[in-house]
Amino acid sequence: MNQQITRNDLMSLEQYAEKRGEFRQQVLDHKKYRQVALGPNATLYFEDRLTLLYQIQEMLRIEKVFEADGIEEELETYNPLIPDGRNFKATFMIEYPDSQVRAAQLEKMVGIEDLVWMQVGDNDKVWTIADEDLERSTETKTSAVHFLRFDISDDMAQALKNGADWRMGVQHPVYTYELAIEDDTRASLLNDLN
């Protein structure tokens, strides 16, 4: 399932310039059902091959990268974020519009990235594995952006496919929220399983 993106999957800068508007709209439509709002100020944006292909194409465009080494660097950065069939991978964003409020909240939310969970049916909660690429928090504040991975068992994957209850949440002393994953979001995220 873990279909790595290769150079052969990428459009040249010229091709991408021609198709960017159409491709961007396709990805935006796809992303609509890959977001889970954990309360008013935190969101999980679930990644998959299409969202990351778009991200790579955008980075190459913005940085005007067309040399093999630069392209390989982008592939090495983003390929690890593709789910492998027994996990879900997400960008976790803490979102406060006011920068002063955001800074104050990030100081209160230290460790929140390790307190995000999902639960399948009556199974124990699956706690996230956060920021495997680099540490994004200090002892005095957390980052507004984290990269999370949720590993699930074969039994949990099968239970989800069979319609088991699916909940996600965050359980931090200053920010707690949970909700059921249903409808189009559920259908979209189930595509990450093999």
Domain that holds residue 15: 1-32+49-82
Domains identified in the chain, total number: 2
Note whether 53 and 94 are same-domain residues.
no
Cβ atoms of 36 and 181 within 8 Å: the answer is: yes
Q: Are residues 95 and 58 in the same domain?
A: no
Residues 90 and 78 in one domain: no
Both 138 and 158 in one domain: the answer is: yes
pLDDT values of the chain reduced to their tens digit, one per residue, 194 residues:
558 999 999 999 999 999 999 999 999 999 999 999 999 999 999 999 999 999 999 999 999 988 889 999 999 989 988 999 999 999 999 999 999 999 999 999 999 999 999 999 999 999 999 987 767 777 889 999 999 999 999 999 999 999 999 999 999 999 999 999 999 999 999 999 98
Task: Tell me what pLDDT residue 2 has.
Answer: 54
Identify the CATH number of the domain in which residue 110 sits.
2.60.40
Statement: the pTM of the whole predicted model exceeds 0.75: yes
One domain, residues 53 and 124: no
DSSP β-ladder status, 126-127 and 129-130 = unpaired
Residues 176 and 92 grouped into a single domain: yes
Same domain? For 89 and 140 the reply is yes
In this prediction, residue 33 carries a pLDDT of 95
Residue 144: closest CA among 97, 83, 189, 181 = 97
103 and 76, same structural domain?
A: no
21 with 101, same domain: the answer is no
Q: How distant is the alpha carbon of residue 67 from its chain centre?
A: 28
Paired sense of beta strands 35-37 and 42-46, if any: antiparallel
Give the C-alpha distances (Å, rounded to integers) separating 134 from 31, 77, 103, 104, 155.
25, 12, 20, 23, 31
* Rounded Cα distance, 49 and 131, in Å: 19
Q: Are residues 62 and 103 in the same domain?
A: no
pLDDT exceeding 90 applies to what percent of the chain?
Answer: 88
- Claim to verify: residue 75 and residue 126 sit in the same structural domain: no
Q: Are residues 105 and 177 in the same domain?
A: yes
Both tokens assigned to 170: 């965050």
